[in-house]
Chain A
Amino acid sequence: MAEWFVAKNSEMKDGDRRIVVAGQREIGVFHKDGHYYAYSNNCLHQGGPACEGLMIANVVDLVGPDRTYEGQAFGDEMHFVCPWHGWEYDLKTGEMVGDRKQRLRKYEVVTRGDDVYVIA
């Protein structure tokens, strides 16, 4: 395992991403709400660039106390979506939200001073 430089922390705004080619691996590194998350950039579906698409909150159906449908709203989870076919992943866990038994490989991110590294 080696540490691969990603960026200066001061350069990474909230919502920024970097794609790191680390040897044979491609890793998407996300900066969101003060945390870093890193996942394999190969979609579990057909190998698309999973970390290079839209970031969007989850959509929830609202159900009233009488169990009637009351519309939809954005939830509290942040997702990222593979731009090839729309497979959607939970930013915090890398789980594919349609089947949470499937999960992208996660990588550890460390910071030293202003330097951000991913370990792969």
Chain B
Amino acid sequence: MDMPRSSVRPVEFDTFSTPKHLEHATEQAHRRNYHDFLIVDVDSHHYENESYAEVFEYIENPIMRREAILSGGRTTGFLNTQVGMQSGAGRITRHQGRKIEKPRISKHRDIGMTLDWMDAMGVDYACLFPTPMLFLSAHPVPEVEAAMAQAYNRWLCERILAHEPRIVSMLYLPFNDPEAAYKTVKEFGDRKGVVGFMVTSPRYQSVHNNAFVKTYALIEEMGKVLSFHAAYNWDDRALAMCNRFIAAHALGFMWFNMVHMTNWA
């Protein structure tokens, strides 16, 4: 008797492929004719920690550069972080899978990984923004935020944006240091692939502070955008009363952006 044909594959976790992981998204993109119109992902998360070894080399100050490089892999060190469970205790498998993945395209790994999901989902352009650095706004040392912002922005412009026209960015603005923020716009505003600047929201700086006016004016003169990316700060006094990550995340993201948008001059 002829057996019905089917294709069968096991579910395995010792390999990971973004195109395979997003196969259903690719089918959707074809079915919905995404190729007929322009799609821009304006909030594409970059996992910059995967390239910290390269980024830290761009830190100008030799003391901070040494501290950053030697802190790699430790639970305490140069950069701050937050308690959190973004992967849902491993339920979102790509966070672990990325570590063992080999991108299809042989450019810089970050370019290859980004283009893989873009092509799978039918996205034409991606606007990258860092992810662990979302918490940099709460760093106790403002000079570290400024130094890390400059290093990351330089690395991104030189190693990523200069080499891939489909990837752009709104660069990290070190908002805790108004002068550093202004210098960031001056230095990077005209670089290839820079479409604007982004402030990470969980911070205690008033957007209506006069110290920022010249930065806003320069961004406007350059024809670039200014955006605010939400994040949570579980150490915030109000949010510290939350006993679950999902509560701190859901409320925190909204709270800081709401304050900044309400406080606009």
A residues with CB within 8 A of B = 2-7, 16-22, 28, 42, 47-49, 51-54, 56, 81, 83-86, 88
Check B24 for interface membership: any CB of A closer than 8 A: yes
* Cβ–Cβ < 8 Å partners of B9 in chain A: 18-19
Known pairs A18-B8, A21-B6; list 8 more (Cβ under 8 Å). A5-B8, A18-B10, A20-B6, A22-B6, A49-B21, A53-B91, A83-B94, A88-B91
Measured as residues with beta carbon below 8 angstroms from the partner, the interface class of chain B is 20 to 34
Q: What 5 A-B pairs come out closest when comparing CB atoms?
A: A4-B6, A17-B11, A21-B7, A83-B93, A81-B91
| Residue in A4, A21, A49, A81 whose CB lies within 8 Å of B24 | A49
Most buried by B among A49, A56, A83, A84: A83
* Cβ–Cβ < 8 Å partners of A42 in chain B: 24
In the complex formed, the residue of B with least CB distance to A23 is: B6
B residues with CB within 8 A of A = 3-4, 6-11, 21, 23-25, 28, 88-94
Most buried by B among A3, A22, A48, A52: A52
Is B11 within 8 A of A51, CB to CB? yes
Is A48 within 8 A of B24, CB to CB? yes
Is B11 within 8 A of A18, CB to CB? yes
* Cβ–Cβ < 8 Å partners of A19 in chain B: 8-11
In the complex formed, the residue of B with least CB distance to A48 is: B24
Q: List 6 A-B contacts (CB under 8 A).
A: A5-B8, A7-B8, A19-B11, A22-B6, A47-B28, A83-B93
